[in-house]
Structure 1
Amino acid sequence: MSPKQRRGAETVERVLNAALDLHEAGDLSMSALVGDAGVSSGSLYHHFGSFDGMRAALYARCMGELLDSVVEALERSRTARTGVRALVEAYLRFTEERRPAAHFVHASPYAGFLPAHADRIAAAKGPRMARIAAWLAPHVESGEVIGLPDPFTEMLVIGPVAETSRRWLAGDPSIDLAAAARILPDRIWQSVRAVP
């Protein structure tokens, strides 16, 4: 990497880190970001194309980090049942330990900037989702897990954990992540296991 490329990468990281901090503080705006990151608006446009492009890049980074933690936990598991447990626990642990990143991921689907940047998001998610599908495939082939189209399996496994995380991040006092980690894995497993 050339010195110019390294400076560019450092600028991108500084902007994304500042954007995440500002989002968590409830003040993610162009003027606040330019001030906190110490960059010009021209530099922001140069690196991201637009303010929405920057938000899409931040979403892709945060989603990538979340999926990396889930994939790593899943790939350490030998059975489908322990894999489901590991996935649920990793997702909830990420939510608790990496709250700003989890908050950005769970708040962003309601933002209008994602559809215009679907290619960038797919590039971040695609390889990670492929690893999840590859891990799951032998368990489906063996008859341990019910065979469903990938989006439906994702909804059954990730849906409950994502909604639990979203509510916890929103401050719902009835949501306890430790209780969710105890209760959800077996319930989710029951929804995807093949009944003999």
Structure 2
Amino acid sequence: MPKPNRKDSILDAALACITEVGADATTIEMIRERSGASIGSLYHHFGNKERILASLYFEGLRRYAERLDVNLAAAAQATECISALVTSYIDWVVENPDWARFILHSRGRIEAGEMGEQLKTINREHYVRLQTRLQTYREQGCFRDLPPECFASIIIGPAHDMARNWLAGRLSKNLVEYREMLAETAWLAVRATPDQPPQ
């Protein structure tokens, strides 16, 4: 396994600090001490604490999107694509609970910060990739006639809510145990109904 570079080490340290004391209480000095980086190196890579937080957020999104893209590329049917959207998210959350918790709780902060425009761009590009991947199935009439702005929320909304509850310790079972049920529910919610046959 390759040795983490200095930038990754700083992000890992930042996530550990945030997990222990929260984003507000985490300081540059705490991150520096935990990562073993010099102040000069830390400011060279990021500039300030808010940029560290934004970079941590973006890196989490990138890793999740990377997993999702691989799973979507392997999907050969509309139902498999919808399943991949749900299961990729659940699997990533279960494998990265601290990162997932940070992302779920920090979106507003990043959006309002100096790197908010970059977040909008990342989200827009992600949305376009998903729409492009699903377009063929949409043209084939595999999906219900739903408002485009509702489509993703209907698919991922229940899994997102369950993930929040699991991360907060409000579920008696591991989130992964709901994986297949949530994927099936998402497909049933968006598939073309009998009175709306494929075109």
Deviations 1:105-156 (A, max 9, x none): 122125x243222222234344333221111111111111135454321211
The correspondence of residues 1-196 of structure 1 with structure 2, limited to 5 A, is 10-26=5-21, 28-110=26-108, 112-116=109-113, 117-174=115-172, 176-195=174-193, 196=196
CA-atom RMSD, angstroms?
A: 2.3
Aligned counterparts of 2:65 and 2:177: Cα–Cα separation in 1: 22
Contact 1:73–1:86 (CA under 8 A) maintained in structure 2: yes
How far off its partner does 1:87 sit? 2.0
Aligned counterparts of 2:118 and 2:71: Cα–Cα separation in 1: 25
Which structure has the highest helix share of the two?
A: 1
Contact 2:11–2:56 (CA under 8 A) maintained in structure 1: yes
- TM-score w.r.t. length of structure 2: 0.82
Identity percentage of aligned residues: 26
Deviations 1:64-114 (A, max 9, x none): 11122122212211111121112211211111112222222122125x243
Q: Which runs of 5 or more structure 1 residues have no equivalent in the other structure?
A: 1-8
- TM-score w.r.t. length of structure 1: 0.83
Aligned residues: 187
2:169 is paired with a residue whose SS is coil
Larger deviation, residues 143-152 vs 67-76 = 143-152
Deviations 1:150-187 (A, max 9, x none): 43212111222122112111111345423321321121
Contact 1:18–1:36 (CA under 8 A) maintained in structure 2: yes
AA at the equivalent of 2:10: V
AA at the equivalent of 1:19: A
Distance 1:176 1:38, change over 3 A: closer
